[in-house]
A and B are shown apart, each in its own frame.
Chain A
Amino acid sequence: MTRFRAALAFALLLLLAAPFVLPPYYVTLMLPALAYGIILLGFNLLFGYTGLLSFGHALFVALGAYTVAVMSGRLGVKSLEASIAVAVVVSVVVAVPVGLLCVRYVRIFFGMLTLAFGMLFHSFLFKFYNLTGGDSGIPVVRPSLGGMDFPGLDKTAYLIGPFYFYSLALLLVLAYLMWRIVHSPFGTHLRAIRDNPRKAEYVGVRVHAFRLLAFVISAVYGAVGGTLLAVPVGLADPDLAYWTHSGVLVFMTVLGGFGNFFGPVLGAFVYVALQDQLMSLTQYWRFALGVVLILIIVLFPTGLMGLVERRHSRARPVTEQGDA
């Protein structure tokens, strides 16, 4: 436990120091990783803790991105907090009916239904040109952070300065909230549902209602992360809702390890770094990423975090499972 805390403190220190030591390019690269970190914390509440694998989670990411685009680009509301608040409301309004239908199914049926909703939303974004800008999307105007516009900063300085720390702070706050949730009685019930829904019902767990609640919470995290994702790009486009983007979320989660609370966050950072490096090396970077995914699943099914944990526990004498 002390080792865990030390590792956490070290990671936090790295994240705080990054803008001061890393070249600006790499700092901008960390922005999507921070946003994906938030998205995946929510995604993994559903997948790792409740046992529901969504293939349409990008829907909520896109919802967040389009919210900040409409707010800043169309309505002229520059406050990012306002955009985030609206994104939360919009994601809840969408997630409740979608979730009500989806959580009645499990395993592949749940996955296919969420995929279908994701595709529906993608078509909507793509075809309703007047409302959504079609394939060209909606531009995101640089939002103000906590009421401050930072007029003296150019785009890069804004992104690697205030926006970086804003994103990091949001990730930390939301990670703390999620940590409380997964360790709470509610979180215990979610894991009971994941492990054995039939048995869970017989010990009084409200299986459907809690799956829905987990779905809605994960949607909110997806939308909040989505607003952050759209700002550095400066655009919300339909690709954000495309099913391959949902696939990327699954990839990151498996890469980092869904059995660990921080696994998906690690996965987000490693994926973003990997993609950047591979893209600069070869145009066949998707092929290389595919190979990485295969290797992870075959060799390290518990992901990178699982790898770290296993090494750690190997180094310790076994104390728990011996005969009492």
Chain B
Amino acid sequence: MSAVLETRSVGKDYGEFRALHDVTLSFSEGEVVAIVGPNGAGKTTLVNVLTGLARPTRGDVLFRGRSIAGMGPVRLAQMGMARAFQLVQVFPQLTVFEAIATAVISQQRRSLDLWHATQAIDAVRSRVAQVADIFGLRERLDGLASYLSQGEKKLLDIATAFALEPQVILLDEPTSGISSSGKRVMMDTLMEAARKTGIKTLLLVEHDMDLVAEYSTRIVAMTEGSVLADLAPAAFFADPQLAATIVGKPHAGAVA
């Protein structure tokens, strides 16, 4: 399988601090990769480098064989990589329809259309409706984002990333701030959305090891800016030492 996204000996320094050190990873189609590790392990820095927010100090990042180091989010979105942040990001004064339409307009390259009404473009409307259906936001299309519940805001945030129809999507703690009972619902929604929208590679930064065990096909464990392990979930949880290093305690539901 060819790599969709890869890093080659990537390092990132913030002054004296080495946030990432010699990270070489390769992500392929069909993978659901969980990036795990204790706080300060470099997970977010890795995601930032992968999504063009931070330019690597050393090494290179390739998306479908092309260097994207420090390319910036707009062009990456056009190329097929989307990202949602840990802290929920919405457009407070836009309706749910308009928020999703924002991404759909980018994806359909209509942003320089100054004449037609967004609401009246059939291709935009039908696409927005599809995405809203997947994320259970159909009933909310006319409401302002700021009136949504916290969980719905999170869904909307992620829905806008999916609406870009990316090949790779990076989700930074998609279940943070959601009740434990809601986490599975969110993960099921994400998996279904990825399948329905044809997203090929899903990268998740996730703390909840139960979810990681259940949903990922591969685990990249990081500590102190380096890759400690890069294994399938079964192999990862078979090593009690490893799980203990990452979560600070042995994992109960070890073998998934």
In contact, A192 and B114 (Cβ under 8 angstroms): no
Tell me, rounded to whole Å, the shortest Cβ–Cβ distance linking A309 to chain B: 14
In contact, A204 and B92 (Cβ under 8 angstroms): no
Q: For residues 83 through 134 of chain A, which have their beta carbon under 8 Å from a beta carbon of chain B? A: none
Q: Is A200 an interface residue (CB 8 A)?
A: yes
In contact, A324 and B110 (Cβ under 8 angstroms): no
Determine which of B113, B140, B160 lies in contact with A203 in the assembled complex, contact meaning CB atoms within 8 Å: B160
Q: Is A5 an interface residue (CB 8 A)?
A: no
Q: Is A186 an interface residue (CB 8 A)?
A: yes
Q: For residues 56 through 98 of chain B, which have their beta carbon under 8 Å from a beta carbon of chain A? A: 72-74, 77-78, 82-85, 89-94, 98
The chain A residue with its CB closest to the CB of B117 is: A183
With a cutoff of 8 Å between Cβ atoms, the chain B residues found around residue A189 in the complex are 102, 105-106, 111
With a cutoff of 8 Å between Cβ atoms, the chain B residues found around residue A184 in the complex are 113-118
In contact, A204 and B117 (Cβ under 8 angstroms): no
In contact, B93 and A191 (Cβ under 8 angstroms): yes
The chain B residue with its CB closest to the CB of A210 is: B111
Range, interface on chain A: 20 to 34
Q: Is B112 an interface residue (CB 8 A)?
A: yes
Q: Is B176 an interface residue (CB 8 A)?
A: no
In contact, B74 and A204 (Cβ under 8 angstroms): yes
Q: Is B107 an interface residue (CB 8 A)?
A: yes
Determine which of B91, B111, B119 lies in contact with A206 in the assembled complex, contact meaning CB atoms within 8 Å: B111
Q: Is A202 an interface residue (CB 8 A)?
A: yes
In contact, B143 and A321 (Cβ under 8 angstroms): yes
In contact, A201 and B73 (Cβ under 8 angstroms): yes
Determine which of B91, B110, B161 lies in contact with A185 in the assembled complex, contact meaning CB atoms within 8 Å: B110
A195, A196, A202, A205 pick with most chain B CB within 10 angstroms: A202
With a cutoff of 8 Å between Cβ atoms, the chain A residues found around residue B77 in the complex are 201-204
Interface pairs (8), CB distance under 8 Å: A184-B115, A185-B105, A185-B110, A192-B94, A196-B89, A199-B85, A204-B78, A204-B111
The 5 A-B pairs at the shortest CB distance, nearest first, are namely: A204-B106, A204-B77, A324-B139, A195-B91, A199-B89
